[in-house]
Structure 1
Amino acid sequence: MGDEELRAKTLHLAREMGLLVLRRQGSVPPFGLTLDPAGDNPRTFFPRDQRPQASSDELLDATVAHLARGRASADVGALAVVTTLESEGGPSGLGIQVETRASAVFLIYPYSKSAQDWGLGEPQPAKGLLVGPLLHTAMQ
């Protein structure tokens, strides 16, 4: 699988999982996702499961630490960090950082709740990255 395809697949899975969590909980505590180099074998890490009382910053740190430990593995071709981003005076958003070994992107999907369901707006590219880089070696 090419880099662009791998990045797109990882972004799609991270977005869909983030939206699912948002619909269930009303926000998205930080979590991580990895795919192998072929774009298969998705694995998730939800630190809230082990640390239910932790703050969002602590959960983000735990997610980053977990992904950093696994980045040297040949089984990791792409990774994503997903979390709610709060904005003072503006809409909240779903922040998704996706990295492959050749590229990295950080997008923010504004979200809103209608009477029936949560919805995501068009992604906005962010300057820089949320964390890291963790996997993308050209930026290190």
Structure 2
Amino acid sequence: MNDKELLEKTLHVAREAGLFLLRKHGSVLPFGLTLDPAGDNPRTYFPRDQLPGAAWEELIEATLAHLQQCIDSGDIGAIALVTTLESGSESGMGIQVETRTSSLFLVYPYTGTGQSQSLGEPQTAQGLLFGPLLAV
């Protein structure tokens, strides 16, 4: 799998997982995703499971620490960090995706409520939400 395909696959898996959480819970608490270099073996990390009362910042920090630990200890081809982002009355799902050679940060605005929530067209954000962690 080339780098572009790996980036696209990681983005797709992260977007679908985030959309599932958005429809189920009404927002996307920070979580991380890793794929191996072949684009297989997706693994998610939801820090809320271990830190049920944690604030958003603590969940982000835990997700970043987990992703860094995965990078340091394993054969990781791509990572993603996914979370709800808010600005005034607008909300969106932010997805930062990285491979070893590239990175991308998109924000998907969302509308609706409950199971009818949907994502709008992604907006490319300047820079990254955090990092880079994996990209060199």
Task: Bin the TM-score by the shorter chain.
Answer: over 0.9
Q: Deviations over 1:117-140 (max 9, x none)?
A: 100000000011000100001xxx
Residue 77 of structure 1 pairs with residue 77 of structure 2: yes
Runs of 4+ in 1 over 3 A off after TM superposition: none
Residue aligning to 1:93? 92
Q: Distance in 1 between matches of 2:49 and 2:33?
A: 15
Residue aligning to 1:10? 10
TM-score by length of 2: 0.96
Residues 50/2 of structure 1: CA separation in 2 closer, same or farther (3 Å cut): same
**DSSP-derived class of the 1:69 partner:** helix
Residue aligning to 1:60? 60
Match of 1:43, as an amino acid?
Answer: R
Give 1:73 deviation, angstroms: 3.9
Q: Unpaired segments of 5 or more residues in structure 2? A: none
**DSSP-derived class of the 2:96 partner:** strand
Match of 1:132, as an amino acid?
Answer: G
TM-score by length of 1: 0.94
**DSSP-derived class of the 2:128 partner:** coil
**DSSP-derived class of the 2:44 partner:** strand
Residue aligning to 2:28? 28
Identity of aligned residues (%): 64
Give 1:71 deviation, angstroms: 1.0
Q: Unpaired segments of 5 or more residues in structure 1? A: none
Q: How many residues align?
A: 136
Residue aligning to 2:126? 127
RMSD (Å), alpha carbons: 1.2
Residue aligning to 1:102? 101
Residues 74/19 of structure 1: CA separation in 2 closer, same or farther (3 Å cut): same
Residues 114/66 of structure 1: CA separation in 2 closer, same or farther (3 Å cut): closer
